[in-house]
């Protein structure tokens, strides 16, 4: 390895130049130790060095993120926005076991870097560890952790990364969380992506679903699905009107006469159909007028509303450690919950101010439009007219 050269006496940054032979030697060493890439090997060395002075990794987390790393940005009737790294809040500022719900959408482990600072999929779990430690520290035993997280595609291949599944396993097996139930957020308005595999080579279908992990420190978080009922279908309304004869179903389920009781609505499935189509409104208009960047990865207000209603009471505390433009905070404010949103980007927080001005509607007023999911293979196609790609789409079709 060549001698390090100082780039700047002021900040004492150094760089190392490797010859081609040294790079190959380093790659071989990484592979010998079981690492897929040099990047994985370097990350491993970094975390070993970072934690070598302490027997308790959690202690380092606390020391590395003191309260001064965060500062108040905006206060409202029920909550507040905090500017800075949320680890300062989760690991130090917040009281232990004081939070009822953490509702968040962290930066996804995407392969291609985004403007809002997503983490490399391969390093995602390691990056997430201090947040997991903070979540365990602040959540009540009856509280819940809800993580909206999108999947990722492996570079250059029509195959999926497992990073979000690995995250789930880590949270359960290493940090003691319990998986209460997985949800799937279906965005009906999502464009056909990834275009290369869906539209060009046509070997995959549109990726339009995010996984939403609902976890808790205990198997018994407080919850009630009576808070989130959906309208009855027309067939169920007819059944309630005409009555239902108790009988044994072909599946073996014994449906009693209690099935015909009107409970005010139906229990919704764990598939959440919410179109993310908001492109105009108070928030966007404010950002454009002020020349502020519009956060590119906002989730729709109905997503946090669903979980806030399901899992918290008025007066409970909701936290979003990756606040972005503070959609979670605006919804919690409108529902009478205490809340805290943390965000690193001050520019995104400047835009978030619009969500707490008079006249801003945190929740959609109109919800009557249903979404249609067609049954599989709803359009008849002759197999001969659409032959399979024998190479799985490996060869890109000519234009």
* 86, 341 contact by CB (below 8 A): no
What's the CA gap between 327 and 40, in Å, rounded? 34
234 HSE (CA, 13 A, CB side) = 1
How far, rounded to the nearest angstrom, does the alpha carbon of residue 342 sit from its chain's CA centroid? 15
* 69, 87 contact by CB (below 8 A): yes
Give one DSSP letter per residue of 308-319, joined into a string: HHHH--TT-EEE
Q: Is 322 exposed, middle or buried (0-12, 13-18, 19+ CB in 10 A)?
A: buried
Neighbours of 80 (CB within 10 A): 15
Q: Which residues are catalytic?
A: 105-106, 148
Interstrand relation of 271-273 and 317-320 (parallel, antiparallel or unpaired): unpaired
Superfamily of domain 54-243+269-363: Vaccinia Virus protein VP39 (3.40.50.150)
How high is the pLDDT of residue 281? 82
* pLDDT at 47 exceeding the cut of 80: no
Nearest residue to 228 via CA among 265, 282, 184 = 265
Q: Which of 206-215, 309-318, 349-358, 364-373 has the lowest mean pLDDT?
A: 364-373
Neighbours of 182 (CB within 10 A): 12
Q: How confident is the model at residue 147 (pLDDT cuts 50, 70, 90)?
A: very high
Which sequence spans correspond to the domains of the chain? Answer: 22-53, 54-243+269-363
How high is the pLDDT of residue 9? 38
SS3 31: helix
* 330, 295 contact by CB (below 8 A): no
The secondary structure of the chain in percent helix, strand, coil, rounded to multiples of 5, reads 35, 20, 45
Report the percent of the chain where pLDDT is more than 90.
Answer: 48
How high is the pLDDT of residue 306? 97
Q: State pTM to two decimals.
A: 0.78
Work out the average pLDDT over 222-238: 82
* pLDDT at 55 exceeding the cut of 70: no
Assigned token pair, 238:
């007819």
Block residue for tokens 């439009």: 369
Work out the average pLDDT over 110-121: 55
């Amino acid at each position: 390895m060549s001698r390090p050269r100082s780039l700047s006496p002021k900040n004492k940054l150094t760089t190392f130049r490797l010859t081609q032979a040294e790079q190959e030697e380093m790659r071989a060493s990484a592979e010998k130790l079981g690492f897929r890439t040099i990047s994985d090997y370097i990350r491993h060395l970094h975390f070993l060095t970072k934690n070598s002075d302490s027997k308790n990794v959690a202690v380092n987390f606390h020391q590395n993120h003191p309260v001064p790393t965060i500062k108040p940005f905006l206060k409202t009737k029920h909550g507040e926005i905090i500017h800075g790294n949320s680890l300062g809040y989760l690991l130090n500022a917040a009281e232990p076991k004081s939070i009822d719900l953490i509702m968040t959408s962290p930066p996804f482990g995407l392969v291609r870097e985004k403007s809002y600072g997503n983490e490399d999929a391969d390093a995602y779990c390691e990056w997430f560890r201090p947040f997991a430690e903070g979540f365990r520290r602040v959540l009540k035993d009856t509280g819940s952790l809800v993580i909206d997280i999108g999947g990722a595609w492996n570079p250059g291949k029509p195959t999926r990364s497992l990073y979000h599944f690995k995250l789930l396993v880590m949270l359960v097996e290493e940090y003691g969380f319990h998986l209460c139930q997985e949800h799937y957020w279906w965005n009906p308005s999502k464009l056909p992506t990834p275009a290369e595999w869906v539209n060009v080579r046509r070997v995959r279908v549109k990726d339009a679903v995010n996984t939403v992990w609902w976890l808790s420190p205990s198997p018994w978080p407080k919850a009630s699905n009576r808070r989130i009922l959906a309208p009855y279908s027309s067939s169920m309304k007819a059944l309630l009107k005409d009555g239902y004869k108790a009988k044994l179903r072909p599946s073996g389920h014994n449906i009693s006469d209690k099935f015909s009781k009107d409970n005010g609505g139906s229990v919704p499935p764990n598939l959440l159909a919410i179109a993310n189509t908001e492109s105009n409104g108070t928030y966007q208009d404010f950002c454009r007028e002020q020349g502020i960047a519009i956060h590119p990865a906002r989730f729709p207000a109905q997503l946090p509303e669903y979980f806030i209603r399901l899992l918290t009471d008025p007066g409970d505390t909701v936290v979003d450690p990756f606040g972005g433009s503070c959609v979670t905070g605006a919804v919690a404010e409108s529902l009478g919950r205490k809340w805290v949103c943390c965000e690193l980007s001050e520019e995104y927080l400047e835009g978030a101010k619009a969500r707490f001005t008079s006249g801003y509607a945190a929740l959609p007023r109109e919800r009557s439009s249903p979404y249609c999911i067609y049954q599989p293979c709803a359009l008849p196609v002759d197999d001969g007219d659409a032959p399979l790609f024998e190479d799985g789409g490996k060869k890109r079709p000519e234009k």
